[in-house]
Amino acid sequence: MPWIQLRLSANEDTSEKYSDWLSACGAQAVTFIDAQDTPIYEPLPGDEVIYWHNTVVMGLFDASHDMDKTITYLKSIHPDKNNMAYKLEQLEDKDWEREWMDNFHPMKFGERLWICPSWREVPDPTAVNVMLDPGLAFGTGTHPTTALCLTWLDGLDLVGKTVVDFGCGSGILSLAALKLGAKKVIGIDIDPQALQASKANAERNGIADRLALFLPKDQPSFKADVVVANILAGPLRELAPTIIEFVAPNGQLALSGVLEEQANELQNIYSQWCEMDAIAVQDEWVRLSGKKN
């Protein structure tokens, strides 16, 4: 079915109100997007919804909807009346699921590691192949923060090692570590849905027996040979003592989810405990890594 999308410019005070207006006018779905560039917004469970200062509120309408009438009505109630900032777009009628599947290809990280969607042929059956389909939790390999961690894991000798994946999301890093030879991985996430996704993905790869999953409140005290944490700079700063506790002496640590301008501060914090490596950069994201003293 073809659709019409109406975009309204908003801010943190008006976003919710405009969303209600669009729903009341018959929008089938309303979405908020960042009109500037605040790369990741990750609310904690129970957090109040926070809107960006420059938000676009998008309403999706059936193509047969009378948009002239809707625009006239919205202008009549909008605070800027004659200067209401909006944009109308006709969306092509596509098979959206097909389109999305066509765009998701196997991806290689480092020398040996591939992440492959289940509907594609595995490009190299002799490589280390993690089968993973996009789902409810973050982590498919397409984001630079994940890619930086996957490449780092590929460069380690993980055979027989223990690993902690702090902020496991889809479990992508846990699965990669296990397929690269780790004997046991502990995955931790504040989002119960992420733990479910990690479990299902591990089962699909036949390695669920070596992956233990925990919410932070239940996390065991454990010393791992390798710790990887792809969460954002804020939690990496606040949780530094907790994360570092998981690293065994001489163990290796990688931190991701950090923007270039945040790297120095985190490098300084973690160098209290670790011999830090040079920073790795992909797009505007960096990976910090080091060896615990």
Ligand X SMILES: C[S@@+](CC[C@H](N)C(=O)[O-])C[C@H]1O[C@@H](n2cnc3c(N)ncnc32)[C@H](O)[C@@H]1O
Which amino acids are annotated as binding site, given as ranges? Answer: 146, 167, 189, 230
Burial of 291 (0-12, 13-18, 19+ CB in 10 A): middle
x-marked contacts with ligand X along 76-115 as a string, rule CB under 6 A: ----------------------------------------
- 185: closest CA among 145, 235, 228, 147? 228
Rounded CA-CA distance 243/253 in Å is 9
**How many other C-beta atoms are found inside a 10 Å radius of the C-beta of residue 50?**
9
Q: Which residues contact 112 (CB under 8 A, 6 or more apart)?
A: 127, 128, 154, 180
6 lies in the binding site for ligand X (CB under 6 A):
no
Of 189 and 225, CB closest to ligand X: 189
Q: What angle do CA 192, 193, 198 make, to 5 degrees?
A: 100
Of 42 and 133, CB closest to ligand X: 42
* Of positions 109, 138, 273, 285, contacts ligand X by CB under 6 A: 138
Q: Which stretch binds ligand X (CB under 6 A): 26-34, 79-87, 120-128, 132-140?
A: 132-140
Q: Which stretch binds ligand X (CB under 6 A): 53-61, 95-103, 227-235, 280-288?
A: 227-235
Strand order in the sheet with 107-109: 107-109, 113-116, 128-131
Site for ligand X in 154-193 (CB under 6 A): 167-169, 172-173, 188-191
3-state secondary structure of 91: strand
* Of positions 177, 207, 231, 243, contacts ligand X by CB under 6 A: 231
φ/ψ of 122, rounded to 5, equals -70, 120
Q: Which stretch binds ligand X (CB under 6 A): 8-16, 29-37, 50-58, 228-236?
A: 228-236
**How many other C-beta atoms are found inside a 10 Å radius of the C-beta of residue 184?**
18
- The DSSP code sequence of 10-69 is E-TTTHHHHHHHHHHTT-SEEEEEESS------PPTTPPP---SSEEEEEEEETTS-HHH
Site for ligand X in 16-55 (CB under 6 A): 42
Minimum Å gap between C-beta 261 and ligand X is 18
Instruction: Report the DSSP pairing between strands 29-34 and 55-62.
Output: antiparallel
Of 172 and 233, CB closest to ligand X: 172
* Of positions 194, 195, 208, 213, contacts ligand X by CB under 6 A: 194
Of 65 and 184, CB closest to ligand X: 184
144 lies in the binding site for ligand X (CB under 6 A):
no
Of 4 and 175, CB closest to ligand X: 175
Binding residues vs ligand X (CB under 6 A)? 42, 137-139, 145-146, 149, 167-169, 172-173, 188-191, 194, 216, 230-231, 235, 239, 257
